[in-house]
Structure formats: C-alpha cells, structure tokens
Amino acid sequence: MQALIIQCASFLLTILVMRGIWVLAGMQVTIVVAALLQGTIAAAVSFWRRLAPWWLPMQFLFPGALIAMHSLSLPPGIFLALFVFLLGWYWTTFRTQVPFYPSGLAVWEAVAGLLPVDRPVRFIDIGSGLGGLVLNLAARRPESTISGIELAPLPWLASWLRAWMVRSRGRFIRGDYTHLDFAQYDVVFAYLSPAAMPALGEKSRTEMRPGTLLLSYEFSIPGVVADVIVTPQTHGPILYAWRF
C-alpha cells in the first residue's frame, strides 16, 4: 500500500513540476519525460522510505510501462486478465514485503545436506513458491514429512498440481506461515526478504523446540549469528542455519 501511495504522490508532484516548467519557461514536457520524472521521484522516495530494494526498479519502471501498454491499444480485457494474474501471483506482497524468490537445485542439495539423517524429519518451506524444494526433498526423503506453505494462490496451485502429477508425498498448504506453530516442525526453511527476517527470528525463538533447525537462504536474522553458513554456489548467496 505504501508503494501505491508513493506512486500517486509522485504523479501529483510530476504534474506540479510540469506546470512550473510551462509557466516559467514556456516549455511543454513530453509524456516520455514526464514518465521518467515520475519514476525517478517514486524510486527516490521509496529509497528514502526504506522500502525493500526490489521496489525501486518497479517504482521507476511503472509509469513508463503504463504508457507503453496504453500505446499498444490493447483490448480492456487483456488488462483485466493481467491484473488478475498478477494479483494471483503476488497476492499480498505489498503487506508481507516478500516477493517471489525461486531458489534452485544447488540450494535444494545444500538444504538436503543439512537435514538430520538418523531419523524422519518434519520439514516445512515457508513461502514455497512453485514447490521445487518440497518436491525435491520429498523424493529424497520418503520417510519424512515434507511440506510447503504459500500465500499467493497461483504459485500454490502450480505446486499442488506438480505434486499431484508426479504423485509426490510432498504436501502443500495455502496460507500464511505466520499463523503456523513452528513447534510442529523439526526444520523450517525460509527464502523471504530482509523485511521479514526480524519477525521470523522472533517467531522462531519463541516457538521452535530444542534440537530443531531454522534455515534461511540469502537473508540473515539481524543481530543473530548463524551456527552454520553454507555457500551453495560459488560467489552466490549464503544459506544460514540456526540450531535451537
């Protein structure tokens, strides 16, 4: 919601600047220049308001993207379909500050290497996206309970269909991981965003049992030193692990 407010305010400020240029210099600003100006203002304000880094390019490109799409003279139904698709894909990203981040095979293998091997484990991927990690671990560890939870409807549906097609033992839940009780799991994996990490750290500290494991790819918990650090790919992001 804050990003939308910033974009609207930037639009109004751009109109004022354009009006000022016309009054003072008698020059009319083109729509392309206006879009660049609005995008620059929106990105700068987003940086000042400390929005997540991925908002900056989105804020900058948004006005230009609207103009480009309008110039194509597309039927209104296409815009509605695109809106519904993006809503289903990102859902409440504006609230959670957690966009879609895919991980990849190297990360899945690193996670598998950190799981206890002497017993079945109850594992959950919080923000499981398209379900790649859950499906991979469910195939590797058939004796364990491997689950994923995803808030956005379309990624959840895609992961559920993938599991159904390959008859995977992986289980996918549509919901908000903040409503889970982490005490039910032996291993919790997260690939979220910097904005979500302080709350995740507090939730894990209060709910996870002794002997359990919290994993986070790329993003660390501020002020909490990880017990294990793994680099799945050379010069790539870090996989952090905290033991409780």
Mind listing the pLDDT tens digit for each residue in 174-231?
999 999 999 999 999 999 888 889 999 999 999 999 999 999 999 999 999 999 999 9
Whether 210 contacts 235, CB under 8 Å: no
Task: Say if residue 147's pLDDT is above 90.
Answer: yes
The residue ranges of DSSP E strands in the chain, in sequence order, are 122-126, 145-150, 171-174, 187-190, 213-217, 228-230, 239-243
CA distance 212 to 185: 8
Task: Say if residue 89's pLDDT is above 90.
Answer: no
Whole-number average pLDDT of the chain: 86
- Please state, for a pLDDT cut of 70, what percent of the chain lies above it: 86
**Secondary structure class of 97 (helix, strand, coil):** coil
Give the pairing of strands 145-150 and 213-217. Answer: unpaired
CA distance 157 to 129: 10
